[in-house]
Amino acid sequence: QNVVDQILQVFPDSYRNFPLVARKAACHWPALQKWTPDYLAEKVRGKLKFRMGRKTLGSTPPQWECDAEYVLASIADLFTWCRGSNSLPFAKYPFGDWWAYASYLHMSATPALSEIQEDVPWESLFPCLSNSSQSTFWLGTDQSHTPCHYDTYGINFVLQVRGKKRWTLFPPSDTPFLYPTRLPLEESTVFSRINFVCPNFIQYPLLLNTHPRVIVLEPGDVLFVPRHWWHFVETIDGDTSCAINVWLDQPMIDNKVRCKEALTQIACFSLAKCAPSTSNILSRLHSTERAFAGSQNWFTCLVDCINTSRSTTHPHSYPLPVTLEPSHNWEIVSETDIVEILPGSDKLVLPPKDSMVSVENIVAAFLHPDVIDLPSVITSPLNCENKKGDPVVLRCKSLSGQYVLELSSVSTVEELATKVVAYTGIERDALSLRFGFPPKRIDLSPEGAKLTLSELKISSGDCITADGAVSTETPQTQTTSSQALHSRLVRKVAPSDNCCLFTSVNFCVSNRDSSRSIEAPVVTDADEVQETRMLIANIVLSDPATFNEGILGMPVENYIHGIIQPHRWGGGIEVSILSAVHEVEIDVVDVLTGRIDRFGEDKSYSHRILLLYDGIHYDPLAAEHTDTGTLQTIFSTSQDSVLVEAQVLANDVKRAGQFTDLTNCNLMCSICRSPLRGQQGAQQHAKSTGHTQFQERSRF
């Protein structure tokens, strides 16, 4: 534990819970200087175990290690195969179709590798890392990878020696969205059911909630992987990759985890023993687990492990003097929008639905990490209260910008609110905080403010949205006679890019203080719009009772897939969701009929925004205040006069012919490009083809 404390002390507090990279930090190490293919072939003459995988399997389940074929070969054999020779021992595996991966090879325990382990002097990076015998060796050809997973113990440092590897990392807070599973079973490893070679976001839609961080490691780079961060690692760019890593345990934390790992093994081995022989559950275990399950004393060993872990104590870890300085420039691996790593939907297929519940699914349910967490098996002293709590790093989004908040799991809501007020300048009495999917308001009442972040299940990596509620007493929401002389309701034109609804709503709600200039244009923020689409998809997914197939007019999976596409329009369903998200009444004024549809009217919201709908396009309505040169986009719901103004404006637009009559408008199917006439034609086309995405067709 003290070793990890010393290492983490090198990093700033705000860095310790994020993956970090030190570029070219190990370029001078002997491994970087000497480990050419010829050198490795000469020095490492023994046989290594290579896992074989197919290069083309992307839309199937992950290529699990327990299902793989293996080849015993030397490094010289591997490089001969890479040069195009299909001689033994790789004769069965054409190089163009297969990859090979020697992984998890502990150098000190692998005779073929022990001679070169001194070429990786971890102590030159951190003096407290003096034992190079803990290094693990990885050698793989292009596209070799391990399924996405996280390690249940400790932290991890990785050195890239040759070739390139792409790391896709996810924070622990993304665990609910990554479909965790303990089948296949490997001690200390929780896998994701998603195949990240081609992540199927249609089959696994919760993936859209995640916050990936992607980095490509090159020779000499060192990566720090914090505790419980998910990672999918793949060799890229057609070369062979060699990497070394070292895992560092944290005994004071890991002992509790060891109890859970032993419980998982007991549950798995017991269920496998009781399962029908045809279920073949034992085949879902890694080789070491299968061997252990076949031994005579596995139960006794695991019970002893639990008792030992529960009774083991560790001396108090006293704070270390701050004398260490980072010897390299460590940088946080930046976050990437999940959309950037997703394949095109045309590459994805949904597996056939199977109504039968398999024995494997039942066993996997019992082994799920959330289920294993249920028994209260850890007692004092390991379960004693941590008065300082675990670090919690949050993202805070507000109109004034984005901020990073550093708290702990035992911090109260009041402490969170105090930090938000300090960063954003929002008055405490006007503060509104939301988090989660769908966003839920945090109770800031005196009683609610006493709750801790852990009690609310707010953890590192979560995003908090901060708003300052607009008071109905302010000049922005009350139209006085003086203001009426200097204001008029106008139509602000949103871009015609299939995102007009989302752009218009964002334009209105982001101007709560009515400070936007009259000249400010309505501009589509592609990132913000995509975030809105993802938010809507998550809300629909989380509430199947409300958003069922009857309401959506299509299967939920089809709706989710469609709404996240940039060309998909928004309509009534999306307006109702956005009304609830922003806690504001959204009034849509129809140019053709003059009707006003008031979404959220039944919720008694105190404020409203106005949108003009011309039959196919949404624009925001705003009050121009010529005396101040500003726009007002949020109005009090007690101010009904603005609705009359909106209807007058809609009538003016209609007289000018600036609307689309859906009865006879020219449409086109976005999928098959078929030209259509009017709403009825679109409905008939959807019924006959299943296509439900349309756009306006240019008139000739």
Confidence band, pLDDT 50/70/90 cuts, at residue 103: very high
Domain co-membership, 193 together with 152: yes
| Pairwise CA distance, residues 79 & 42, whole Å | 12
**Element housing 578 (H / E):** helix 572-582
Asked, as a colleague might, if the bond just before 212 is cis with ω within 30 of 0, I would say no
At 438 the pLDDT is 63
629 inside domain: yes
When comparing pLDDT for 119 and 131, which is higher? 119
Domain harbouring 223, CATH code: 2.60.120.650
Domain co-membership, 437 together with 492: no
Pairing of strands 607-613, 585-590: parallel
When comparing pLDDT for 425 and 192, which is higher? 192
Give 579-616 pLDDT, tens digit per residue.
999 989 999 999 888 889 999 998 889 999 999 998 77
Domain co-membership, 436 together with 543: no
Question: Over the chain, what is the mean pLDDT?
Answer: 84
296 inside domain: no
Domain co-membership, 518 together with 595: yes
| Pairwise CA distance, residues 537 & 559, whole Å | 8
Q: What letter would DSSP give residue 384? A: S
Domain co-membership, 503 together with 451: no
Q: Closest Cα partner for 622 from 493, 529, 526, 503?
A: 493
pTM, two decimal places = 0.61
Confidence band, pLDDT 50/70/90 cuts, at residue 311: low
Give 220-243 pLDDT, tens digit per residue.
999 999 999 999 999 998 889 999
Q: Closest Cα partner for 52 from 112, 92, 7?
A: 92
Confidence band, pLDDT 50/70/90 cuts, at residue 398: confident
Catalytic residue list? 497, 500, 617, 691
Please check the confidence at residue 437 and state whether its pLDDT lies above 70: no
185 inside domain: yes
At 184 the pLDDT is 94
| Of 233, 256, 279, the domain-final residue | 256
Domain co-membership, 518 together with 637: yes
Q: Judge contact between 98 and 52, C-beta under 8 A.
A: yes
Please check the confidence at residue 327 and state whether its pLDDT lies above 60: no
Start-to-end CA span in the chain (Å): 74
When comparing pLDDT for 201 and 270, which is higher? 270
Domain co-membership, 158 together with 199: yes
| Of 256, 287, 315, the domain-final residue | 256
Domain containing 398 equals 391-468
Please check the confidence at residue 323 and state whether its pLDDT lies above 80: no
Domain co-membership, 135 together with 244: yes
Number of domains in the chain: 3
